[in-house]
Structure 1
Amino acid sequence: MRQLSPADIASHLVRARRDHVAWQPGDTAAISIAEAYAVHDLVTAELGLAIGAWKTSPLDDPKAPFAGQIYARDIYGTGAEIPASELFMIGIEGEIAFRFGQDFPASKAPYGRADIIAGISEMLPLIEVVDSRMVDGMGQDASLKMADNQSNAAIVIGAPVTTGWQTIDATTQPVTLHVNGAKVYGDVSNSPVADVFALMAGTVNVCAARGHPIAAGQIITTGSCTGVLFFEPGSQVVMDMPAVGRVEVSFPVA
């Protein structure tokens, strides 16, 4: 196996973004979580982009989930048209996210569940656009996918729920996905996350410890409610969660 440094991997991922040519990892060895975060920092610095949201995923330690960065430029409102030519693949996940109304600076004591709930300003229905800057991206080692912004291309957010969101169970919501008018998913959320607020508390603490504290206005996504589904260029996607909202996105062919 080839052992590449974070700088090597970051260079490949930056080139893939700039030239729109997917990187072929070949027999690249798995990397550590710390190395995946180092790749994030290097890619972000090289591209000169601001972080607007975080994609959280549980790891072995429930208090330290993975915090995948999402660039502010890649946050869209419902009805967005994202040219298919800008993507290597078109993956979709229906999700619920939360926006924060306060900063969470580094603190001697870790933030807890109650702190997170108190800091939330709104709940958001959300479609995540999944993509990879690697050849056979979904088949690559999980650590390489983490390094590649956890396979995120964009998020598309619907109208916010600003009142009463505390009574909405984010783990058991009915959700439907329609693509080009045909229903492709209709069920109760299949998210494996039992407590999204505890998960976000871990994410906030990880970000603070890494020197990237969550700031007011930033968003944390809480994981897929639908699993990832892949579609062809030209697709129009609509997600409905009756208690949370509706989101639409299309991928026109140039």
Structure 2
Amino acid sequence: MMEKFELAAKELLSRRVAGMKAPRLAENVRPASIEDALQIQAAMTQQRSDAIGGWKCLLPISEQQMIVAPIFSDTVKRLSDTEKQSAECFMMADNDCVRIEPEIAFVLSQDLPASDVGYDESQINDAIGSCHMALELMQSRFADDSGAEFFERLADGLVNQGLFLGPQIDRAKAFAASQIEIDVIQGETTKSFAGHHPNGDPVAPIYWLINFMSRRGVSFKAGQAIITGSYCGIVEVAFDKEILICYQGLGEYRVTFKAE
């Protein structure tokens, strides 16, 4: 069985290239359950040379639909101190454009080792060191007509190709950000959103994630960034043209995406 997971992981990792739109996995390595998908994710992590740089998550939709995936550290981009409020970010195109999801990232400042008993909310809150405006970088790697089902997409990281960490924001406001008015401005085009967190509470998915994965033997490390859902779904913008991202009452920054 482990060989099946390792083969699936190797195949999915090989698809993380620009422009890749692949058919569904071969039946002999295709995940058939949540557990299969999580085992493939773990095998992908073991096969990469980098560590886990973060996680994406939401509260489970159902017993058969869990939103959880590692984000690899080589794919986490940051607004550096020298860039201040403007940055360049390299990413892979998806359908010839940039696809991003505006989110908030919660960055751990303490390790949370794997634990059979898990952690209470206050322990997890204490481990969160900073909060940031963030963009999940998206790439759909299955062809639209592939017929790939949820377990395959979960194994592949649910369209994630990376994460961009923007400016730090006020912690209390981040924890309470159930709604955010968001503007994405590129040239003369402004896309405005009355953003709503998909779970209402942007921190609740972190409590679930850490306890669920911790009991599976996963340790969380200081510096890992956790995102918990987009406030306005996927936003498509162009390469090579500066974008202004505004979160009303929280902050703003500029970023230009470059194609890898």
* TM-score category, normalised to shorter length: 0.7 to 0.9
Which amino acid counterpart does residue 179 of structure 2 have in structure 1? T
Provide structure 1 residue ranges, at least 5 long, that are not aligned to the other structure. Answer: none
Evaluate the alpha carbon distance shift between residue 116 and residue 152 of structure 1 in structure 2; reply closer, same or farther with a 3 A threshold: same
d(CA) in 2 for partners of 1:76 and 1:103? 21
Q: TM-score, normalised by structure 2?
A: 0.81
**What residue is the counterpart of 1:34 in the other structure?**
35
**What residue is the counterpart of 1:152 in the other structure?**
160
**What residue is the counterpart of 1:10 in the other structure?**
9
d(CA) in 1 for partners of 2:220 and 2:214? 7
Evaluate the alpha carbon distance shift between residue 97 and residue 120 of structure 1 in structure 2; reply closer, same or farther with a 3 A threshold: same
Establish whether residue 104 from structure 1 lines up as the match of residue 103 from structure 2: no
Which amino acid counterpart does residue 103 of structure 1 have in structure 2? D
Establish whether residue 209 from structure 1 lines up as the match of residue 215 from structure 2: yes
Task: Indicate if the aligned counterparts of 1:10 and 1:40 stay in contact, CA closer than 8 A.
Answer: yes
Shift of 1:65: 5.1
Shift of 1:123: 1.0
Which amino acid counterpart does residue 179 of structure 1 have in structure 2? Q
Secondary structure of residue in 2 paired with 1:238: strand
d(CA) in 2 for partners of 1:136 and 1:236? 29
**What residue is the counterpart of 1:123 in the other structure?**
131
Task: Indicate if the aligned counterparts of 1:13 and 1:23 stay in contact, CA closer than 8 A.
Answer: no
Secondary structure of residue in 1 paired with 2:179: coil
Q: TM-score, normalised by structure 1?
A: 0.83
Provide structure 2 residue ranges, at least 5 long, that are not aligned to the other structure. Answer: 80-86
Matches within 5 A, 1:42-121: 42-60=43-61, 66-78=67-79, 79-82=87-90, 86-89=92-95, 90-121=98-129
Q: Kindly provide the CA deviation profile for residues 165-206 of structure 1, in whole angstroms up to 9, marking residues without a partner as x.
A: 22442211222112344111232x222212232221111112
Task: Indicate if the aligned counterparts of 1:127 and 1:247 stay in contact, CA closer than 8 A.
Answer: no
d(CA) in 1 for partners of 2:148 and 2:236? 17
Evaluate the alpha carbon distance shift between residue 181 and residue 30 of structure 1 in structure 2; reply closer, same or farther with a 3 A threshold: farther
**What residue is the counterpart of 2:257 in the other structure?**
251
d(CA) in 2 for partners of 1:91 and 1:228? 6
Evaluate the alpha carbon distance shift between residue 149 and residue 247 of structure 1 in structure 2; reply closer, same or farther with a 3 A threshold: farther
Which amino acid counterpart does residue 17 of structure 1 have in structure 2? R
> Aligned residue pairs: how many?
245
Percent of aligned positions that are identical = 22
Which amino acid counterpart does residue 69 of structure 2 have in structure 1? G
Task: Indicate if the aligned counterparts of 1:55 and 1:68 stay in contact, CA closer than 8 A.
Answer: yes
d(CA) in 2 for partners of 1:137 and 1:214? 36
Evaluate the alpha carbon distance shift between residue 141 and residue 100 of structure 1 in structure 2; reply closer, same or farther with a 3 A threshold: same
Task: Indicate if the aligned counterparts of 1:15 and 1:21 stay in contact, CA closer than 8 A.
Answer: no
Shift of 1:6: 3.0
